[in-house]
Structure 1
Amino acid sequence: MNQSSTDRILAGLRAWIASASPGQQLPSSRSLTAEYGASPVTVQKAVRRLVALGLVESRPGAGTFVSAPRATRPVDYGWQAAALGAQQSRAWSLSSTQRIVAPDAIALHSGYPAAELLPERAVRRAIAGASRTAVAMTRSPAAGLPELRAWFAGELVADMPAGIPPVSAQDVLVIAGSQSGLSSIFRAVAGQGRPLLIESPSYWGALLAAEQAGVTVVPVPAGPAGPDPADVERAFAETGARAFYAQPNFANPSGAVWPDETRRAVLESARRHGAFLVEDDWAHDLAIGARPRPVAALDDDGHVIYLRSLTKSVSPAVRVAAVIARGPARDRILADRAAESMYVSGLLQAAALEVVSQPGWATHLRGLRDRLRERRDLLVQSLGEHAPAVHLELVPSGGLNAWARLPDGTDVDRVVRDAELRGLVVAPGREWFPAEPAGPFVRLNYAGENPARFPEAARILAEVLAPPD
């Protein structure tokens, strides 16, 4: 059955229906078959879709006829305003990064890489292979498949220097994407109503998870080299916080990477205050230059709770990640996750393990590094040539995004709105700040579709930033 033929028939019939009268009979299947040069089965498929859309109705023994417009009354949902109360939480709104946009738009707002940057054939083979095994019909252990837990543990152990007690598979919990684990972690190690230190700017999903967990967010300013360790020490001392959420490698949105001295100093602060560092290594596989070592590799006594996701490097459809935690914290996080989601699909876990354990995985990551570099450099060059008023505080050495500061005084919402009217979609920076934005920022994803349109995107930004005549 030819899908393109079906779509062609559908387009023709919809145009015919638009000019037809209600109750008018469609041409016979024989005449449609002759007119479109398609098989009777394809014609029947197109007609069934028109029936499903309510555009035509089939009358057994008589034929198929154009449907009459249905009289509808406006539905009043006003009662829900009183039932739901005022909307005061970011938890009830989609992030701008989650929006679906027009197919012809230049989409720099997304938080995901283009499909062409992913190991598509390996993923398809792995899912098909896993579907033929027992995991397709059985539940997996609450903590995850032992083999996948061992793989995640081995990845971190490879970065651990001699003398640090290595983590094991017993310390690993498999979760359905790192986002799903953040609320559990915050509830387990911070507690409702308690303070949680968080970098500013920081991942919008972490801010959402903190709100869902009922913790009180305490911003710690962070620049291109992460936070000042003195600010972290002061925040721990002043608030009594027992956790600090951070992204030391390729932070979202800024791309910041912590220097070695910051890693050691922040870890020592956590130790002094009997606190946890929640390290979100979301872009572990997205390094463009050298891949920095996780802070968790330096942890010898369970102060770091480590998240590692495969969503951005394997496939958004394979939402598999891991939490590595030692001691009672691990058990608390597992209990919270099991209560909320029971377990992660064994089918997806097995598929993810198959992809990352094949020799081709390392080859894929090397190629990905080169392609991310090409896209990043093209975006940086395009902004420099066509939108010099847009300032990048850091040329990222990994991740998917460039954090762009607009001229002081810029109305970011207006810029985002005017750019979209011209076909460019970007994400306003306010979503990444736990308090008031530190300036007019937008986040630009350089890993999306159609990098050849980056120069056009930069020109549009320059147009909407230009002062009116």
Structure 2
Amino acid sequence: MKQSSSVADLTDELRKEVNRYSPGGKLPSSRALVERFRVSPVTVSRALAQLAAEGLVVTRPGAGAYRARPRTPLAATGDTSWQEVALSADGAADLVPRTVDASGVTVCLAAPPPGVIEFSGGYPHPSLQPEKAMAAALSRAGRRPGAWGRPPLDGLPELREWFARGIGDTVTAADVLITSGGQSALTTALRALAPPGAPVLVESPTYPGMLAIARAAGLRPVPVPVDRDGVRPDLLADAFRATGARVFVCQPLFQNPTGAVLAADRRPEVLRIAREAGAFVVEDDFVRRLPHEDSGPLPRPLAAEDPDGVVVHVCSLTKATSPSFRVGALAARGPVLERLRAIQIVDTFFVPRPLQEAALELVGSPAWPRHQRTLSTELRARRDAMTAGLALRLPELALPHIPSGGYHLWLRLPDGLDEPALQSAALRAGVAFTPGRPYFSAEPTAAHIRLSFAAVSGTEEIAEGLRRLRAACDEALGGPVPQFVRHTPAVL
């Protein structure tokens, strides 16, 4: 973290000085910058690389760095309005028009403006990521024999075996494909299991990224309600009968956004209902590695209780590591595995071998169990801080379920408090959250918001974020307008 800060500081200093040089003028040598700013040669190299990426300087190996010359203005752009007709005509014959809408996902991926507290994040804060362990793993992986060669198309056998052990005794390495994270695996699964125009049953509410995948593939998401014990089997059976669907996508463990865990008595019912309908269950086991310290023993994945190949299992290392550590797995049995494999090969060829090797190094190191224990403890502390703060500052926001895993809370807004109005007021107050509407494939039952407690720096920032959210609620309900200076730090 200190090194990253040094790079940013030096970059800022050099950015201010670049204009002192004429276009094409040579900047001081790296050695001179090291001596002047008392930083390492690596820090200088990274700062110059950042300025080069911004187009401010040009680096020439063996010669040094020079101020970039002004770019030649681009010619006037042509008329692209014809594309509206072409793109519309492309899906004119589709039974269900494809809709490529990333807005529900972008809100969890995009960084908020400076100074805005991030209750909207979908990944752990950098302080919760095993940065040193990942860096060491990547360094060791890069030195492995053959690390930069072509990997097996299904993934490294040792990594497939590791994922198989985590799913259950009934799953072997031969049942596993290594994927580029969970989102890629879900995309492959839906493309393999449902033709364009087909219905696909989804939990309601559910993960917006999965809804975006389905709609982009021309599928028709059909909602099946979820309560605090997971999906309701009676309504699932009704939905299969009414639609003739052959796919049901669910998150049985710490469901996004409700945090629900599929109850023990419902688990065999879900498998039985899907089997009788001749349908697949896509199990998105996305946060199995994010239990809280008080979670107790976790239920096994549905795939571990499925002898008939009903379940296509999706899991990933990404949530427990870093947004950029995109290594996941698909597990399935029977002929469907070959279809999944073929689609993945056509789409991506394979997951880069250095990343697979780094994953093996990471999960096999002593740092991995230590990181998991630390993450479990910290997530519980943050969850408790947020739930206590909500009870104190925002008691009108209903919290029907406190999860024992995952990274967020799902809250129902009181009548009269509008999601868009609250979201706008919150940004003005300096806090970002995820609105509930994108989590519903049809009309929502009520107004909701999702608050992430993992993407912030700690409990102090949670307390400040809730204070700002209180001010935003007051404004949205007609109270005083909260004041927020965008350049203030996130934790006051």
Task: Sort the TM-score into its range (normalised by shorter chain).
Answer: 0.7 to 0.9
1:221-244, CA deviations, whole angstroms, 9 ceiling, x for partnerless residues?
112221211001111111111111
Q: Does 1:410 align with 2:417?
A: yes
Task: Give the C-alpha shift of residue 121 in structure 1.
Answer: 2.0
Residues in 2 aligned to 1:450 and 1:351: alpha-carbon distance in whole angstroms: 26
1:138-195, CA deviations, whole angstroms, 9 ceiling, x for partnerless residues?
111111111111111111225xxxxxxx221111111101110212211222222211
SS in 2 for 1:278: strand
Could you tell me which residue of structure 1 aligns to residue 351 of structure 2? 344
2:81 is aligned, of 79, 83, 100, to: 79
Q: Does 1:468 align with 2:478?
A: yes
1:251 is aligned, of 250, 255, 258, to: 255
Distance verdict in 2 for CA 1:156–1:25, change over 3 Å: closer
Checking the alignment, whether the CA contact within 8 Å between 1:135 and 1:347 is kept in structure 2 is no
Task: Give the C-alpha shift of residue 9 in structure 1.
Answer: 3.9
Distance verdict in 2 for CA 1:140–1:44, change over 3 Å: closer
State how 1:374-393 maps to structure 2 within 5 Å.
Answer: 374-393=381-400
Could you tell me which residue of structure 1 aligns to residue 174 of structure 2? 170
1:255-295, CA deviations, whole angstroms, 9 ceiling, x for partnerless residues?
11111011111111112112111111000101111222211
SS in 1 for 2:249: strand
State how 1:180-329 maps to structure 2 within 5 Å.
Answer: 180-288=184-292, 289-290=295-296, 291-329=298-336
Checking the alignment, whether the CA contact within 8 Å between 2:429 and 2:469 is kept in structure 1 is no
Could you tell me which residue of structure 2 aligns to residue 332 of structure 1? 339
The letter of the residue matching 1:420 is L
Residues in 2 aligned to 1:48 and 1:179: alpha-carbon distance in whole angstroms: 31
Percent same amino acid among aligned pairs?
36
1:154 is aligned, of 145, 152, 165, to: 165
Could you tell me which residue of structure 2 aligns to residue 114 of structure 1? 125
Residues in 2 aligned to 1:295 and 1:410: alpha-carbon distance in whole angstroms: 38
More displaced 10-residue stretch of structure 1: 81-90 or 41-50: 41-50
The letter of the residue matching 1:256 is A
Could you tell me which residue of structure 1 aligns to residue 101 of structure 2? 91
Residues in 2 aligned to 1:272 and 1:345: alpha-carbon distance in whole angstroms: 39
Could you tell me which residue of structure 2 aligns to residue 161 of structure 1? none
Distance verdict in 2 for CA 1:83–1:92, change over 3 Å: farther
Task: Give the C-alpha shift of residue 309 in structure 1.
Answer: 0.8
Distance verdict in 2 for CA 1:54–1:325, change over 3 Å: closer
Task: Give the C-alpha shift of residue 5 in structure 1.
Answer: 7.1
Task: Give the C-alpha shift of residue 26 in structure 1.
Answer: 9.5
Distance verdict in 2 for CA 1:366–1:79, change over 3 Å: same
Checking the alignment, whether the CA contact within 8 Å between 2:204 and 2:224 is kept in structure 1 is yes
Larger of the two Rg values belongs to structure: 1
Task: Give the C-alpha shift of residue 465 in structure 1.
Answer: 1.6
Task: Give the C-alpha shift of residue 318 in structure 1.
Answer: 1.7
2:363 is aligned, of 329, 343, 356, to: 356
Q: Give the superposed CA RMSD.
A: 3.4
Distance verdict in 2 for CA 1:179–1:68, change over 3 Å: closer
Residues in 2 aligned to 1:275 and 1:28: alpha-carbon distance in whole angstroms: 65
More displaced 10-residue stretch of structure 1: 454-463 or 242-251: 454-463
Checking the alignment, whether the CA contact within 8 Å between 1:187 and 1:215 is kept in structure 2 is no
State how 1:13-28 maps to structure 2 within 5 Å.
Answer: 13=17
Number of residue pairs matched? 448
1:192-228, CA deviations, whole angstroms, 9 ceiling, x for partnerless residues?
2211110011111111111232222111011222121
1:371-394, CA deviations, whole angstroms, 9 ceiling, x for partnerless residues?
100010011111111111222121
Task: Give the C-alpha shift of residue 74 in structure 1.
Answer: 7.5
Could you tell me which residue of structure 1 aligns to residue 114 of structure 2? 103
Distance verdict in 2 for CA 1:437–1:56, change over 3 Å: same
More displaced 10-residue stretch of structure 1: 201-210 or 183-192: 183-192
The letter of the residue matching 1:283 is V
Residues in 2 aligned to 1:153 and 1:363: alpha-carbon distance in whole angstroms: 22
SS in 2 for 1:450: coil
Task: Give the C-alpha shift of residue 104 in structure 1.
Answer: 2.2
The letter of the residue matching 1:234 is D
Q: Does 1:368 align with 2:363?
A: no
Checking the alignment, whether the CA contact within 8 Å between 1:9 and 1:46 is kept in structure 2 is no
| TM-score after normalising by structure 2 | 0.81
Checking the alignment, whether the CA contact within 8 Å between 1:176 and 1:319 is kept in structure 2 is yes
2:139 is aligned, of 107, 124, 128, to: 128
SS in 2 for 1:392: coil
Residues in 2 aligned to 1:403 and 1:393: alpha-carbon distance in whole angstroms: 8
| TM-score after normalising by structure 1 | 0.85
1:381-434, CA deviations, whole angstroms, 9 ceiling, x for partnerless residues?
111111112221211110111112111232211211111122101111111111
Gap runs ≥5 in structure 2: 59-65, 89-96, 480-492
1:138 is aligned, of 145, 149, 154, to: 149
SS in 1 for 2:362: helix
The letter of the residue matching 1:401 is H
More displaced 10-residue stretch of structure 1: 235-244 or 324-333: 235-244
Distance verdict in 2 for CA 1:131–1:91, change over 3 Å: same
State how 1:435-450 maps to structure 2 within 5 Å.
Answer: 435-450=442-457
Task: Give the C-alpha shift of residue 306 in structure 1.
Answer: 0.8
Checking the alignment, whether the CA contact within 8 Å between 1:270 and 1:276 is kept in structure 2 is yes
Distance verdict in 2 for CA 1:92–1:286, change over 3 Å: closer
1:57-103, CA deviations, whole angstroms, 9 ceiling, x for partnerless residues?
9xxxxxx9998999889857663663565698243545211212233
Distance verdict in 2 for CA 1:305–1:54, change over 3 Å: closer
The letter of the residue matching 1:97 is C
